[in-house]
């Protein structure tokens, strides 16, 4: 299963594409969609949407895992990230790819086994699971890879839940 992990943002949107076969994981690609600061925000959203559409076309993932928003103290930043996330979700929806959303604590739990793990612990475990010599940069790409791993490690139970729901609705 090819899983594309997305760490949404409006300055930097990280992505990580992994191949997950049972409990074996392989990093296929990672990077970031970036937009320059001090440019019109609607233009930045257009760049994110267009680049995400192209990434989905080229990567051809079976599923997309995206981080849910966490509003900290800076609400203005959170609103802008929410808008960025909106155009990303639109691109995914238009591509017809199933997507799954995870809270930061769920990512930490799935990757490290502890919901209050530190960023360093998540990166270290991600590096181990993928047999990498170093964590990819920028950090947003590394976070996106962890989100993809979260889905890979959770997909079996989510798939079973979805199949049960489909059978129950018949």
State the catalytic residue, choosing from 54, 62, 67, 68: 67
**Closest to 158 (Cα-Cα) out of 111, 110, 125, 113:** 110
* CA distance linking residue 142 with residue 115, whole number of Å: 18
Query: Is residue 7 annotated as part of the catalytic site, yes or no?
Result: yes
State the catalytic residue, choosing from 62, 124, 140, 143: 140
Question: In Å, how far are 29, 47, 122 from 56, measured between CA atoms?
Answer: 12, 14, 25
Coil, helix or strand at residue 144: helix
Neighbours of 131 (CB within 10 A): 10
Enumerate the active-site residues: 7, 67, 140
């Amino acid at each position: 299963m090819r899983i594309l992990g997305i760490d949404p943002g409006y300055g930097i949107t990280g992505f990580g594409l992994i191949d997950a076969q049972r409990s074996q994981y392989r990093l296929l690609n990672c990077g970031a969609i970036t937009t320059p600061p001090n440019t019109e925000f609607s233009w930045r959203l257009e760049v994110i949407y267009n680049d995400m559409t192209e990434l989905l076309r080229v990567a051809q993932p079976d599923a997309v895992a995206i981080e849910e928003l966490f509003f900290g103290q800076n609400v203005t930043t959170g609103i802008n990230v929410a808008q960025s996330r909106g155009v990303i979700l639109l691109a995914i929806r238009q591509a017809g790819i199933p997507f799954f959303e995870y809270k930061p604590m769920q990512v930490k739990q799935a990757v490290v086994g502890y919901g209050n793990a530190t960023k360093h612990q998540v990166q270290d475990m991600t590096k181990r699971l993928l047999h990498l010599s170093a964590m990819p940069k920028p950090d947003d790409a590394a976070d996106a890879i962890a989100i993809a791993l979260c889905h890979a490690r959770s997909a079996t139970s989510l798939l079973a839940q979805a199949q049960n729901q489909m059978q129950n609705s018949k």
